[in-house]
Amino acid sequence: MTSAIAPLALAVSTGALLALPLTPAIRELVAKRDAGPLVTRKDDGRIDNFADSLRAHSEPFEAELAQCAQMEVDQIVEHAAEKVYLCGRGGTWQGPQRPDMLVLGAASVSLPAGFHCFRDFYARGSVFCGQSNIFRALLSDADIHLSAQSQVLRWTHAEGKLTASEGCTFFGRASAGEAMVLSDNCRFERIHAPVIYSSEQASKLDIRTESAPFSKLAQAGIGRKRVHGRAHLGREEQHLGDLVSLKSLHLDEGAAVFGSVKANGPIELAARSEIDGALVSTKTIHISGGCFVKGPLIAEREIVISSGAQIGLPGTPSTVSAPHIRIAPGAVLHGTVWARVEGRVGG
């Protein structure tokens, strides 16, 4: 009798153990509890995503804001337990010095020195900030001009041009639809624009508008060179194709690589040298004045970009990424600059 029960008990226990992991699925099949849609993240990586979200949040106040603009008055309204300051008057700001509510402006506005907005600030026109202004988030459908020592704590976006004076700080994201002009001692984390000038003078530089013909040959499979040690290109020397160095890489003045470059060590580009492709280092990258790098440009420690250097091309945005990024006044970049720890102009 015992010999007959033992195999049956073993089969039952084995079946129970096999079915145990399937219990939640079987229970959900019988009585559906998680049939709702999955949560979709609002932050999908697009640089202007926060701006689109704020515009959507402001839609319920469109009619009241238009009425305030027509009457040229300011008004505080409440919607769904949220207070909103509607600024219908353009010109000099006449509202509170430190509003603790969402601010929607119908026209261009000039803010006083020391203005602090502890909630989001959205203007349909340009925003001219006073000195030492502080915003949680700042959005303009035109231009933004930040005076010295101003700060944006979360994100800022200008559909037109974003200009930051000396000592401004961007925490989080900063972007512009047309151009961004930074100044000495500006700090940033992630910035994006079709063209980024690290000073006002940089906008007067002659920039390259297209890749060299040899770079297309490199992309077509002209070959790759691997250097077992330190790689070095002499003055005015050219290399066609990709270049990989197992240690450091140094390009003398006027040297050029028509392809992508990767080094397992520091990379040093002397004046007027050129990388018509990606540039990647496991340590640091130093780019001297007059250099051109098509990009992307990635380093695991630090990137230093000197005055007169150009990163990326108009219409071909690139990416500059490293924990620490230092850009001298007078440089031109196209696309995204992402400093995972700190980015700084000058200093």
Residues 167, 222, single domain; the answer is no
Q: Indicate if 220 and 143 belong to the same structural domain.
A: no
Domain containing residue 257: 204-345
Enter the tokens of residue 66.
């238009």
**Is residue 41 one of the residues assigned to a domain?**
no
Residue 106 located in a structural domain = yes
pLDDT tens track, the chain, 347 positions: 556 677 777 777 787 777 778 777 777 777 777 666 555 565 556 677 888 899 998 898 988 999 988 888 888 888 777 899 999 888 999 989 999 999 999 999 999 999 999 999 999 999 999 999 999 999 999 999 999 999 999 999 999 999 999 999 999 999 999 999 999 999 999 999 999 999 999 988 888 877 766 555 555 556 778 888 899 999 999 998 899 999 999 999 999 999 899 999 999 999 999 999 999 999 999 999 999 999 899 999 999 999 999 999 998 889 999 999 999 999 999 999 999 999 999 96
Whether residue 43 is contained in a domain is answered as no
Residues 224 and 334 in one domain: yes
Residue 92 lies in a domain: yes
179, 324 contact by CB (below 8 A): no
Domain count for the chain: 2
164 and 244 together in one domain: no
Residues 170 and 241 in one domain: no
Residue 159 lies in a domain: yes
Strands 297-299 and 187-197: unpaired
177/155 Cα distance (integer angstroms): 14
**132 and 152 Cβ atoms separated by less than 8 Å:** no
* Domain membership flag for residue 107: yes
**Neighbour-count burial of 38, counting CB atoms closer than 10 A to its CB (0-12 exposed, 13-18 middle, 19+ buried):** exposed
Residues 243 and 328 reside in one and the same domain: yes
Give the contacts of 198 (CB within 8 A, at least 6 positions apart): 182, 305, 307, 327, 328, 329, 330, 331, 332, 333, 345
> Identity (one letter) of the amino acid at 120?
D
| Any domain includes 16 | no
- Asked if 208 and 341 sit in the same domain, the reply is yes
d(CA 340, CA 317): 19
Is 134 contained in some domain? yes
Q: Are residues 97 and 163 in the same domain?
A: yes
